[in-house]
Chain A
C-alpha cells in the first residue's frame, strides 16, 4: 500500500496528448450515426470558421505561406512523415501517413467512415472566401495518407 504525491507546473511538460485523436474520431462517429453525413460536414465547417479565424486571416494576407507554416508546425509536433512543395501560387503537401489515424488504429479503435472529412472539409472551409482552393486526392482510409493541393483560383 503506497502513498504518493505528484506536483507539476504547466511548464514542466510539452502539450501533446495524442489520445485526443481518439476522442475526436468518436465525436465524428457519433455525429455521423446520430445525425448523418451532412451534419458531420456542418460541424467541421462551424469548427473551422470559429477556431481557424486567425489562420484564414493570415491566408488572405500572407498567401499560401500561412498554410505552409501551419502544417509544418503541427506535423512537426505530431511527428508526421510528409513532403511539402511550395511556391507563391501553389502548395502541395504529401502526408505519407496520418499520425491521427495511426494513433487511433494502434490503440485498437476503429476509424470513423467520415474521419477523412477532418481533412477535406477543414481545408476547403479554410479556403472559402479566399483567393485559394484546395483539392484532396489519394486519401487512404487505413493510414490517412493523402495529397493536399492548394492553388490560386482561376479568375
Chain B
C-alpha cells in the first residue's frame, strides 16, 4: 500500500513519468482530468456556498496537510486568499534528497483549481515562488461571470 503520507512523491513521479511518455502537454491533460474527477468536492462547495466554499475546502485540506499559512475570507467583497508560508507538498519534495522535484510541480495548483473556479464565476490568481521555495499566494475573487472558465488549459 502507498500511504497517503507518501502520495506527494508518487504525484511528483507521476508528472515526470507522463512527461517522459508524451511530453509536457500530456501532463497538463492529466491535471485537467484530475481536476474534473477529483475536485468535485471543491466544485460542490463553491457552487453551494459561493466564496465561502473556498474557505470550507482549503481550511480542511490545509489543516490535514499541516501547512503553514494565513487564510482570509471577506464575503462582502467576495474575496478569498491564502498566503502560504510553507507548502507541505513542495516543502517535502525539497527536503527529500532521494527525490528530484518535477520542474513545474507547483503549476498543478494553478491548472487544477483554476479549472474549477473560473467556470463558477471567480477569478483565480496564483503567484508561485520564483525561488524554488515552498511558498505562494493565492487569490480568488467573485467576478460574476460564471461559465467563462478556461476548460482547456494547456501549455
Contact = CB atoms under 8 A, between A and B. Distances in A.
Interface residues of A, number: 50
Contacts of A9: 68
Contacts of A8: 62-63, 67-69
Nearest to B59: A6
B125 to A, nearest CB: 19
A16 B55 CA distance: 19
Contacts of B41: 19
Contact of A26 (B13, B21, B38, B62): B38
A16 B64 contact: yes
B68 A5 contact: no
B25 interface: no
Interface string B32-62: 0110011001000000000010010001011
A77 B8 CA distance: 16
Interface residues of B, number: 48
Interface in A2-43: 2-24, 26-27, 30-31, 35, 39, 42-43
B4 A17 contact: yes
Contacts of A95: 1
B98 A53 contact: yes
Given A8-B68, A43-B13, A51-B10, A2 B73 contact: yes
User: Interface majority SS on B: helix, strand, loop or mixed?
Assistant: helix
Given A6-B70, A26-B37, A43-B17, A74 B30 contact: no
A11 B6 CA distance: 19
Given A5-B71, A20-B8, A30-B33, 12 more contacts: A10-B68, A10-B91, A16-B64, A17-B7, A17-B61, A23-B38, A24-B10, A35-B21, A39-B21, A42-B17, A50-B100, A100-B4
Interface of A: 1-24, 26-27, 30-31, 35, 39, 42-43, 46-47, 50-51, 53-54, 74, 77-78, 95, 98-100, 103, 118-119, 122, 144
25 contacts: A1-B76, A3-B74, A5-B73, A6-B69, A7-B71, A8-B69, A17-B4, A19-B4, A19-B64, A23-B38, A26-B37, A30-B33, A31-B17, A47-B9, A47-B14, A50-B98, A50-B99, A51-B99, A53-B98, A74-B5, A78-B3, A95-B1, A98-B1, A100-B4, A103-B4
